[in-house]
Amino acid sequence: MIASVTGRVTAIAPDGAVIEVGGVGILTHCTPGTLAGLRVGEEARLSTSLVVREESLTLYGFATDDERAVFELLQTASGVGPKLALAMLAVHTPNALRVAVASADLKALTQVPGIGQKGAQRIVLELKDRLGTPEETVDAALNGSRRVTLWRDQVHSGLVGLGYSSKDADEAIAIVEPDAGDTPNVATLLKAALRTLSIR
């Protein structure tokens, strides 16, 4: 298993980054939050999880070992594959997921694209005693006002990391900002922001 990669970031895309290790460019699929912390040309270390399929080897990268551990635990639930597990971590932090599962907060879980009511119930049932105990403080990702700040920062950092100016990033964010009350999805908003910048 490839537990981590360390090297120079050579490319960043909306759904992943290329890390050069020993002259080899390794594609790692990441959440927008992880991508926001990367910069092309700079050194980076990502905790990684290798998913082996008959027809492919796919590497997923994370900013912390905890994110990787939660990513792997999520996949032990019925119906949760690597793409859905990554989507869950794109919407919620590891501790937010622990809070949601421990408190059977189905509304929080169904905020993740691809998870319906029955899927959320199954995740709670199967993972309630496996994800670990949530931190004592209520996770910021489940708090509305903090979540807004979080998605703005992540999308802004992601756009700047892709080479856009801070001003262009702010203008794109203003265009794609969701309506009040809507649940922001960082990956979707980042892609929408990129579309607005590409048609200028």
To which CATH superfamily is domain 4-62 assigned?
Answer: Nucleic acid-binding proteins (2.40.50.140)
CA 129/CA 146 separation, integer angstroms: 27
- Please tell me the predicted confidence (pLDDT) of residue 180: 59
User: Who's near 185: CB < 8 A, 6+ residues apart?
Assistant: 90, 91, 111, 113, 151
Q: What is the pTM of this model?
A: 0.69
Specify the amino acid at residue 160.
V
Would you tell me how many other CB atoms lie within 10 Å of the CB of residue 37? 14
pLDDT at 165 (0 to 100)? 85
As averages over each run of 10 residues, the pLDDT of the chain (200 residues) reads 92 93 94 91 95 90 94 94 94 90 90 92 91 60 49 78 82 80 72 79
pLDDT of amino acid 183: 63
CATH number of 143-198: 1.10.8
Classify domain 68-139 at the CATH topology level: DNA polymerase; domain 1 (1.10.150)
In the three-class reduction of DSSP (H, G, I as helix; E, B as strand; rest coil), residue 107 is classed as: helix
Domain residue extents for the chain: 4-62, 68-139, 143-198
> Cα–Cα distance between 135 and 101 in angstroms, integer?
13
> In this predicted structure, what is the pLDDT of residue 103?
87
The predicted pLDDT at position 161 comes to 74
